[in-house]
Each structure stands twice: as structure tokens, then as C-alpha cells.
Amino acid sequence: MKRFACLLFVVAAPLSTFAATKTVAATGADFTTIQAAIDFFRTADPDPGTADFINITDSGVYDEAINVNAPVTIQGTGATRPVIAAKPATTQATGDTGGTDGIVIEMTGAGPFDVTLRNLLIVPSLTSTPADDLVRSVGANLNILCDNVVIAPNNGSNQPVTTTGLTEVDLTAAGIKRIGDDALFLAGTTGTSVTLQRCVITHANNGTAGAGNDGLVCSGAVNYNILDGNVFSFNNRVGIQMAGFFKMNGTTTRSLVLGNKGFAGIWGASTTGGSVRQLNGVNIIGNGLPYVAGAVVGGWGIEVQNGDGVTPATISNAIIAGNGGPGIRFGEVGTNGGLIVTNVTSANNGQAAGSTDQEPLLVATGAPASAGNVTITNSIMAGNGGSNATNKIVHNGTGTVTMSGSALVLAGPLALASPGFSGPGTVNIGSSITQDPAFLQTSNQALSTYFDVQQNAYGTANATSGPLGGGADFVGGVTGPTAAADWNLFE
């Protein structure tokens, strides 16, 4: 008799994480409130270090106080986004003395803690309205993603006053509940990152003139990543307050900073070490109208105070137009790390009545004067066609502004005042052209033709002898004899 040995193989199961999913809906779900689902993951989660999922399966209104104190993804999964009508959070953000915030994101421990808000409409509650920020984060080791989220005032029927943010809404209409202070205040310390894509942050305005109601406030040593297709519009002060390591990178769909009321569409305050200010893929339109504060009339499109003295700020693939004051204001910090401007059109700024700052680019004085150098490539610096002495590049710093493959527009309806630049600082325009770009249209930023260039002289004017469109497209012909080439099209 043959004997067969039975070999028992024991395979050790690898350690794994357990991401669970719970549903929320008025009926037929695991929970009827969002907070109850969060509380489950905070107290009964088999793997509290892994982000779990709360799927809101209906399009209902969730009028509740929410503390996100467990790593979790909160997302609408139905055909229509659900509404969170945020009451003041039960536990307010640690160290925040500004008032009562709405949704508060805060956890303690080593982390990292992943929190995602996706496919949601967030408005103030009609029954108990937060007096401070509508969404607020604080703490360390947070990874926050906001994706396809609208944050706006309540129209009185538990819906946002706008879901696109492209048109200003009258907030004095009956029933509207305003945002108490900032719409989205995302702060943090060590190990924290924030990402936004496809979000609309709009109409943060508590009705008090001059109040600091901002759209997005970035605060702390945080990695901020603003990706495709965001709108920051019609807030009472600035659309975005930059801080930390700030990168805006709209690779397929530009973000839009539109119609914010205060001193800038985007404002980046001075920092003292290792700061990053990188803006790629954004249109900054019609901010600072109206705005009057002391002697300042008209807010800036963007102000960059990049004060680490090392890292240049960058602005690329952008249209900066129709703002109350200067398109780009740079400086006010003596150790500025410099500014690089590429594929940008700055034009038709200084639109506030009585504005004394109308520059496409203002290199401001500081204490001492800004020493940062500015490099402008493949860009168009145009004016507003007026004779004001500031309707030109004004360089009051001690560095050098150097242009190449660009245009300093001295002719046409959006001409700068001759000779196109002034101030004690050195401006080197190199081989930049001065002709009228013959923009197709400059009035409707929603059209694809906005600031498209059709002047033939721009056909070979960029830094590599290619078409110069600035922040838009070149749609004209090219310089030189073209008859033979045109004829070949018909052969």
C-alpha cells in the first residue's frame, strides 16, 4: 500500500485595510442623517485609519450640524446633487475665535486623515445659520479634496442662489440666507494638503460693507492644489487668499476668478520661507468693482507678495482683464523672489470710476522697494485706451522687468499711454512688438473668442517666432508673402 503524505500549506493573509460604505437617504438607507453616518465611522469603524464612504443616494436636503471627525468621503451618488444646509457645528474648530462655523473638519492623531466632499451643494441653514465660515478645517495631517461642490448662500428654498457662479445674484431678495464670513476656510499645519476641482465658491457676502468675506481662504503651511474648472466669484472681498505652497494648475479647463468686490481677485500675502505661488490656467476678470478704501479706488486682478527671496512666483496661461485697478500687482516686499509671466494677456484694467491705478503690471514699492525681477514671455500687456499716467507698466521697484516675444500695446482701442512704461525701475522690452492686437472681442468672457488675437503682425511674434496670442489664441494670418501658400490651398 502506498502512503501519500498530505501537505498542508498555510498562506499568511497580508495585512489589509477595510474601507466600508454606508448610505444616507430619507428612507431605505443605513442612516437618515450625514452626522449619524460619520459618528458610526468614528466609533465603530473596523479600520479607523482608512477613509470610508458615505453615499447620499437621494437629492434631499440635510439640514444639520456636521463635524467631520473621521476620515471619510461624503458624496452624492444620485442623479442630482444633495443639499447640505449647514447649521453651526456642534464642536467648533480648535482655536477659531471668529464665531460659529458651519461644517468643521478636524481630527487629532497621527493620521493621515483623508476627507473628500464630492457632488454636493452646501448652503447655510435656514433654521440656524452659521455666523462665521460655512466650511472650516483645522489641524494636522489632513488630506482634503473638494470635487464638484457648490458653496453659496441659501436662496430661501434650500438651494444655492446659483450653481454656476457666473452671474451676480441680488442677495437682498426675500428669504436669502447669506454666508456669515468666508465660504471655504481651509487651514492646517504639518502634513496637510488641499485639492479643489470643479468647485463653485460664490457670493460670500454678509452684507457689511468692507467685511473680509472671501471665497477660498488658504491658511497655514499647507500644500494647496487648485485644479481644473473652479469658479471663485462675487465674494465681498477676494476670491482666493493664497498662503502656504499654492499651486493653481488648470490643464484642461481654466479656473475663473470673477467679480469679487474687494482689493483683489487673488491675493497672496508675504511669506518668509519656501513659499510657492504658481498659477497656471486661470482667468481673472472684473474684480474690484466697485471698491473704495481710503485712497485706493479699484481692486487689483491679482496681487503677489512672494517674499521668501528665493522662489519666483509664476503666472501662466491666463487672461487678466476688466479689473477695477491694476491687472497684476507685484511687490511690496523688499526680498521678493521675482515673478515669471508666460502666455498671459493683461488688458483693459483700471475700470473703477476714478481709478488712479490702471496698469497691466504694477511693480509696487515696499520697505525697501521690491527688488524682485520680472520676466515676461509670450504675453500681451495692453491698456484701456485712456491717457491716465498709470495706463502703462509702472515699475517702482529696484529690479528689472524684461520682456521677450511679447507685445507692449501702443495702438488700438486698448492702447497703453505712450511709451508704455514708467517709473524709476528698469524696463527692457527687447524685441516686443507694439501693434494693436485687433482682439476679436473683449466683452464676453464666456465666449471662446475672448481676447483672441487677429492682427497679422502677431503671427510670428512669440519667443520662438510662432503665433503670439498671450493668454488666448492667435486666429489671424501670418506676416510675409502668403499669396503662394494661399493659392496652394486650391490646387
pLDDT digits 0-9 by tens, 191-207: 899 999 999 999 999 99
**Per-residue CA distances from 408 to 284, 391, 412 (Å):** 20, 12, 12
- Whether the pLDDT of residue 250 is over 60: the answer is yes
CA distance 204 to 213: 6
In a domain, 50, yes or no: yes
Dump the DSSP string for 29-80.
SSBSSHHHHHHHHHHH-SSTTS-EEEEE-S--EEEEE-EE-S-EEEEE-SSS
Q: Of residues 90 and 399, which shows the higher confidence score?
A: 90
CB 113 within 8 A of CB 105: no
At 279-306, the pLDDT tens digits run: 999 999 999 997 766 656 789 999 988 6
Backbone angles phi, psi at 426, to 5 degrees: -80, 130
Dump the DSSP string for 282-314.
EEEES-STT-EETTEES-EEEEE--TTSSSPEE
Residue 168: which residues within 8 A CB-CB, separation 6 or more? Answer: 203, 233, 234, 259
The grid coordinates of residue 195 equal 485639492
Residue with cell 450653481: 163
Closest CA to 289 of 355, 216, 388, 201: 355
In a domain, 119, yes or no: yes
In a domain, 282, yes or no: no
In a domain, 164, yes or no: yes
Confidence at residue 60, expressed as pLDDT on a 0 to 100 scale: 97
CA distance 29 to 22: 8
Confidence at residue 491, expressed as pLDDT on a 0 to 100 scale: 37
The grid coordinates of residue 152 equal 453659496
In a domain, 165, yes or no: yes
Other CB atoms within 10 Å distance of the CB of residue 171? 18
CA distance 269 to 317: 22
In a domain, 470, yes or no: no
Please tell me the total count of domains within the chain.
1
Closest CA to 341 of 308, 309, 363: 363
- Whether the pLDDT of residue 14 is over 50: the answer is no
Residue with cell 440656524: 128
> What pTM does this model have?
0.92
CA distance 287 to 235: 10
Residues in a beta bridge with 382: none
Residues in a beta bridge with 361: 328
CA distance 17 to 53: 14
In a domain, 125, yes or no: yes
Q: Which domain holds residue 212?
A: 31-261
Under DSSP, the state recorded for 488 is H
CB 86 within 8 A of CB 121: no
Q: How confident is the model at residue 387 (pLDDT cuts 50, 70, 90)?
A: very high
Q: How confident is the model at residue 220 (pLDDT cuts 50, 70, 90)?
A: confident
At 461-470, the pLDDT tens digits run: 999 999 999 9
Q: How confident is the model at residue 267 (pLDDT cuts 50, 70, 90)?
A: very high
Q: How confident is the model at residue 334 (pLDDT cuts 50, 70, 90)?
A: low
In a domain, 132, yes or no: yes
Residues in a beta bridge with 439: 453
Confidence at residue 17, expressed as pLDDT on a 0 to 100 scale: 57
